[in-house]
Amino acid sequence: MTRVATRRRATPGKAMDHHQLEKDILHLEQIVTRISPDDRIPLSYWQNRVQTISSAVVVPTQRGRLKRLIDALDLLEARSK
- Do residues 49 and 10 lie in contact, with contact meaning Cβ atoms separated by under 8 Å? no
Helix residue ranges per DSSP H, the chain: 18-32, 43-54, 60-80
Domain ranges of the chain: 37-81
With a cut of 50, list the residues of the chain below it in pLDDT: 1-8, 10, 12-13
pTM value? 0.77
